Amino acid sequence: MINASDIPYKLAREINWGEDFNALEDRQQIVYLKKFSASMNQAADLIQIERNILANDIVIMKQMLKAADTATATHKAMLTKVILDNNDKQQATGEEIAKLKRQLAKLCEVCNGDNG
């Protein structure tokens, strides 16, 4: 998990208002600053909306990952069961084949012994 202290950040630079702004009368500066702060508030609102969307997306992605993890575990369990069942059947078949070969060998011995 990322801690806030792990994220590098920079402090905003001090605003250099420039000669044009400093040349304005106090009332004009106030009007300018009100418009500027309204723009900054709008920008902050847009950023917050985007953050909210991203946070919601993260919640959805976490839910999807948990569901995928559960599905993967279920799938793995099913495959393991199928493989183990198949192995048991193959082993039983192998044992049955070995048993039949022994019986066939005995029968061949009996048949060969009768002809010999």
Q: What is the pTM of this model?
A: 0.54
- The total of structural domains in the chain comes to 1
Please give, one letter per residue, the 3-state secondary structure of 37-53.
Answer: HHHHHHHHHHHHHHHHH
- pLDDT the model gives residue 4: 67
Per the CB < 8 A criterion, the answer to whether 29 and 21 are in contact is yes
Give 2's pLDDT tier (boundaries 50, 70, 90): low
Q: pLDDT digits over 56-113, tens only? A: 999 999 999 999 999 999 999 999 999 999 999 999 999 999 999 999 999 888 887 7
Tell whether 88 is covered by a domain.
Answer: yes
Tell whether 38 is covered by a domain.
Answer: yes
Containing domain of residue 23, as a range?
19-115
Tell whether 62 is covered by a domain.
Answer: yes
Tell whether 77 is covered by a domain.
Answer: yes
